[in-house]
Amino acid sequence: MVENEEAVISEEEAAQYDRQIRLWGLEAQKRLRGSRVLLVGMKGLGAEVAKNLILAGVKALTLLDHQQTTPDDARSQFLIPTGSLGRNRAEASLERAQNLNPMVEVKVDTENIKDKPREFLAQYDAVCLTCCPRDVMVQTDHFCRTHSIKFFAGDIFGYHGYMFADLGEHEFVEEKQKVVKVGTGDEDGPKTKKVKIDPNETTMIKKTVNFCHLKEALEVDWSNEKDASLKRTPSDYFLLQVLLKFRTVKARDPCPDSYADDSELLLQLRNDVLDSLGVKSDLLTDEFISSCFSELAPVCAVVGGVLSQEIVKALSQRDPPHNNFFFFDGLKSIGIVDCIASK
């Protein structure tokens, strides 16, 4: 992890972040203000995460994306101005991103994360990957884990979205209402102590939580799991596995322009992937095909809000983090937090 210099909040910053300081305290804002974040992938989800981190007041944010702007980006990527077709996505997003908060240093990197040496990541306190192949995510998470860098990943597939966090052994503080003991009883009788929660007083409780590697979370052997356990596991976890396999095979996500061919491949991958995981293929019905193409702006907003919130919580070390997956189903408007790890 980067050795942060002591962050100093200026009067101008105190005014800018006044509401946040009131919400989570000056020390948490200082930790956030001293943090550097790498954000990979500037499609719709990346734009939402970038906006929220910049407004929250991190020290520096690097936008990394080697892809060019496509017509699809106009539907969900609000940081890219009209007329930017063919420009690098990160470069096209820079001006609007920087204008959100001049106090945050926003940089652009147009190289492919796959071509970066692992040591490149060591300058950051948190790394967030979107639009990346599974092997890149697993390798990046491994490096981040061994260097105490907070790791996050997320993606949007049509109506479905997810985020994953690996914070290693993470320490945080949680604000709780103070419990006090008050005396009861008559003047002539014995007094007893009664536990009471004082709504006007709070105390900060230090806690620690442990996370697992992304590789472990994706390689759970479900063949020995009971039906009840499978029913409790969000189906979007298995959908994610299929879509990551599609990304590995095709080096892209399902595309509406090739809907028929991509649908056929998705069904085949559904059978192969679920069989390799030790579960029945009917866990994902054929209907999943129609809801996992393109990025939808409302789904980007929901998942991007949760993902950036978790990055802020991790960097500020304030409040319990989501451990370790968050899944969002836009068709049902349901979000689920679940801890999935190999035994």
Tell me: do 186 and 129 sit in the same domain. no
Tell me: do 34 and 133 sit in the same domain. yes
Tell me: do 184 and 263 sit in the same domain. no
H/E stretch holding 64 reads strand 60-64
- pTM for this predicted structure: 0.90
Tell me: do 232 and 320 sit in the same domain. no
Q: Please, are residues 126 and 310 in contact by the beta-carbon 8 Å criterion?
A: no
Residue 199 is predicted with a pLDDT of: 65
Tell me: do 160 and 178 sit in the same domain. no
Residue 15 is predicted with a pLDDT of: 84
Residue 222 is predicted with a pLDDT of: 87
Number of independent structural domains in the chain = 3
Residue 22 is predicted with a pLDDT of: 86
Tell me: do 164 and 132 sit in the same domain. yes
Compute how many other C-beta atoms are within 10 angstroms of the C-beta atom of residue 9: 16
Residue 10 is predicted with a pLDDT of: 83
CA distance 246 to 282: 18
The whole domain housing 278 covers 214-291
DSSP annotation of 210: E
Tell me: do 58 and 186 sit in the same domain. no
Tell me: do 247 and 287 sit in the same domain. yes
CATH number of the domain encompassing residue 331: 3.40.50.720
Tell me: do 245 and 258 sit in the same domain. yes
Last residue of a domain, one of 192, 208, 224: 208
Residue 203 is predicted with a pLDDT of: 84
Tell me: do 55 and 136 sit in the same domain. yes
Residues of the chain scoring pLDDT < 50: none
